[in-house]
Amino acid sequence: MNLHSDVIQNKNYTYPICAELQKHSQEYRVLATLLYLLPRQYAMMTAGETPDLQDKKNSIGIEVTAAVRENDMKVSRIFSGLCQENDAQKAEKRIKKIESCGYSLVPIYGEKISVIASGTSNEEKVFLQESVRKKKQKFEQYRSKFRTLGLAIVLPEIPTTEAEDCCIAWIYEELQKDQNSIDFAYVLSHRFCIYYDVRMVRYEKWTISNEDNCSLCTIARMTAEGELSLNDQEWN
């Protein structure tokens, strides 16, 4: 991955991606992160349909999902308007709406800001386990095509510290109900990526800097929006 090309460094988004392309952007974000962290292991992985990411040569499939809250899309729309707002009074009203939904604004890198939910870690556990529960039902149909199957879960921009520490235990708890559904899982956030081997019951964690995460997200979004392709230098 080339995270520091002029194309990426000079790209500055002031509004969130449109809802229709958000899922594709999340899938490309997972692919970009895996290629960034483990380039040899995932050199043959590419975007697919069912499942979302596929390495046909090595018979590996990865389904991508996001652990989102009920208010996430509403807040995303308000935040989009805030990023484009030039009127101070209107901007203040948007900030109050964001806060009324249980979110706060925080700086993440340079002049970039993001939103963080102020809910409890128990709520994060519910949403994480629900995202696993919804997706694992699909894996049975993939078994005839792929020998190894995984799930990649994208967390909200800034999860709580407890969610970061406990997410693997929460996934383990959910998968105990159906141990044969998936072989591994990844959990991605803006500051880390965790790998969990379901069969071996072990995990590995990588820290990702805010700068590199922003670049990975930019590459993913530009690809989803058609400004980049998987053949461009940013992906190689």
Burial class (CB in 10 A: 0-12, 13-18, 19+), 217: buried
Shared-domain flag, residues 138 and 93: no
Shared-domain flag, residues 18 and 62: yes
**Among 204, 135, 191, 200, which residue's Cα sits nearest to residue 163?**
191
Shared-domain flag, residues 78 and 158: no
The average pLDDT across 72-82 equals: 66
Shared-domain flag, residues 63 and 139: yes
Shared-domain flag, residues 37 and 94: no
**What tokens does 14 get?**
């002031």
Checking if the pLDDT of 213 tops 70, the result is yes
- In tens, the pLDDT along 48-57 reads 989 999 999 9
What sign for the dihedral angle of Cα 33, 39, 42, 46? positive
Amino acid identity, residue 233? Q
Say if 136 falls within a structural domain. yes
Domain boundary among the residues 89, 117, 145 is at 117
Please tell me which of 92-101, 103-112, 115-124, 185-194 the model is most confident about, judged by mean pLDDT: 185-194
Q: What's residue 73's pLDDT?
A: 60
Burial class (CB in 10 A: 0-12, 13-18, 19+), 133: middle
Shared-domain flag, residues 90 and 144: no
Percent of the chain surpassing pLDDT 90: 49
Say if 1 falls within a structural domain. no
Question: Can you tell me the distance from the alpha carbon of 140 to that of 160, in angstroms, rounded to the nearest whole number?
Answer: 32
Checking if the pLDDT of 106 tops 70, the result is no
DSSP state letter for 191: S
Say if 101 falls within a structural domain. yes
Q: How far is CA 236 from CA 28, 72, 195, in A?
A: 14, 33, 22
Q: For the chain, what is the domain count?
A: 2
Q: What's residue 67's pLDDT?
A: 81
Shared-domain flag, residues 127 and 100: no
* Count of beta carbons in the 10 Å neighbourhood of residue 200: 9
Shared-domain flag, residues 144 and 175: yes
Shared-domain flag, residues 12 and 61: yes
Does residue 156 have a cis peptide bond before it, meaning omega lies within 30 degrees of 0?
no
Checking if the pLDDT of 144 tops 60, the result is yes
Amino acid identity, residue 205? K
Q: How far is CA 64 from CA 28, 101, 222, in A?
A: 10, 26, 18
Checking if the pLDDT of 2 tops 80, the result is yes
Shared-domain flag, residues 109 and 187: no
Shared-domain flag, residues 52 and 159: yes
Domain boundary among the residues 82, 117, 152 is at 117
Shared-domain flag, residues 62 and 105: no
Range of the domain at 153: 6-69+119-235
Checking if the pLDDT of 120 tops 60, the result is no
